[in-house]
Structure 1
Amino acid sequence: MDRMIYIGMGGAKQAMDQQASVANNMANVSTPGFRAQINNFRAVPVVGDELSTRAMVVATTPGADMRSGPMMATGRALDVAVSGDGWLTVQMPDGSEAYSRVGNLQVGSDGQLMTMNGRPLLGDAGPLAVSPGSTLAVTAEGKVNALGAGEPASAAAEVGRLKLVNPAAADLERGEDGLFRMRSGAAAPQA
């Protein structure tokens, strides 16, 4: 009897975890840059005296659906999207890098280009910053151009290039914050 309860309890817990994952995926279906979480399960035998007939269900390392979603034109100069493979690089509070496909950007009060969550966006040479009040444009190649308030269009200057990386999907893992990081902990090579 206790074997059936144990097996049933293990299966029910994993079914609840799967339901939570599906609910999260559905809630974020229209979130820009979201990657659906994919859960897999497997049976693992319980090791111990007189437990040879017991097995429990465990989740394997969750994966993510890395397919690109549809691109939508927003008409906003600071909404960018990576066409095909590739990731934008953001700087975490500890100085490490994390990767995102979410390209709705903003300029902070200090002129720093950042995600809507307030994480600094990295360029090839570090965080990107512009003069407060500048008008920005991002080219198809990822170059960030700034035009100071009241300056003629010919005065637009390149302030940097977005740091784009393209690591193998197997090398990435999703963090609790929704950002991806290299499994090794190292920075991803630049694309």
Structure 2
Amino acid sequence: MESPLYIGLSRQVALRRQLEVVANNVANMNTAGFRAERTLFEAAMQPGGKRPNDQIAFTIDRATYTDLRPGGFTATGNPFDVALDGDGWFQVRTPDGDRFTRDGRLRRDADGQLVTAGGFPVLDDNRQPIMIASDSSVLTIGTDGLVSADDQMVARLRVVRFDDPQQLRQTGDVLFAADPGVDPLPAPDTRTVQGKIEQSNVQGIAEVTRMMDLSRDYQAVTRMVEDGQDLLRAAINRLGKSA
């Protein structure tokens, strides 16, 4: 196959990956605590062309990273909803180990544990689940994460941060896992805001526009590849007839 077709195919693969990432962002634009993902690409130069020193550029899907800009806050009036004002993360326990999230849609489960919307226990500053008595009528969460039920202190939410948040990777359900050997740090500068939730940081109009641009680019590259194949077939047919 000729080099232009290889170049077109590499670009198609990269554009398809971008479309998948943008489509996932759009699908989660209303998901509380969601962080948009972005793709990183680079050009790989390889020998090619008519002259010995000519090079051609292939597009390589290098990595995906998370856009960690905060989302806006929405007031709910629900005392179990908590937003984080700062760079901190809630620490929660899952069957696969501890995870981190910005989704503060909390609730009390049937066992009295304070859990996330997905049912995972939220941890206190001793890394233990937080229990809320079933007969409690007033839940208060202070800006320092102190949880009180009927004016009685229960626990303090464990809110942590990371020196390099890009070491976190999304694992689904707005949960993030830390790389092996990466320990969370205290986040004293992060305030907990009761009665609000943090929305997704996806900018809907920008993402939809990006998706439309990517779709047009993909169609253009597809036409280029098809035209290249047509030229190659025509050349083969011409050579076959002349033989």
Give the TM-score band, short-chain normalised: 0.7 to 0.9
Q: CA deviation at 1:54?
A: 7.0
Q: What is the identity, as a one-letter code, of the residue corresponding to 1:160?
A: A
Select which of 171, 179, 189 maps to 2:185: 189
Residue segments in structure 1 that go unaligned for 5+ positions in a row: 47-52, 148-155
Rate the CA distance shift 1:30–1:141 in 2: closer, same or farther, 3 A.
Answer: same
Report whether the alignment pairs 1:160 with 2:155. Answer: yes
List, as ranges, runs of 4+ consecutive aligned residues in structure 1 with deviation greater than 6 Å.
none
Partner of 1:58: 60
Specify the alignment match of 1:70 in structure 2: 72
Gaps of 5+ in 2: 47-54, 188-243
SS in 2 for 1:39: strand
- Structure whose alpha-carbon radius of gyration is higher: 2
How is 1:4-83 mapped onto 2 (pairs within 5 angstroms)?
A: 4-44=4-44, 56-83=58-85
Q: Cα–Cα, structure 1 residues 89 and 36, in superposed 2: closer, same or farther, change >3 Å?
A: same
CA deviation map 1:134-188 (0-9, x unaligned): 23221111111113xxxxxxxx211101100011323322224432222234431
Displacement after TM superposition at 1:65 (Å): 1.3
Distance 1:86 1:79 in 2: 16
TM-score (norm 2): 0.66
Aligned 1:46-125 pairs, distance under 5 A: 56-94=58-96, 96-125=97-126
C-alpha separation between the residues in 1 aligned to 2:141 and 2:123? 14
Query: Hey, which of these two has a bigger chunk of helix by percent?
Result: 2
**Measured at CA, do residues 57 and 176 of structure 1 come closer, stay the same or move farther in structure 2, by a change above 3 Å?**
farther
d(CA) in 1 for partners of 2:2 and 2:99? Answer: 45
Instruction: Decide whether the 8 Å contact of 1:171 with 1:184 is kept in 2.
Output: no
Query: Structure 1's 176 and 70: CA in aligned 2 closer, same or farther, altered over 3 A?
Result: closer
Distance 1:61 1:17 in 2: 10
- Identical columns (%): 36
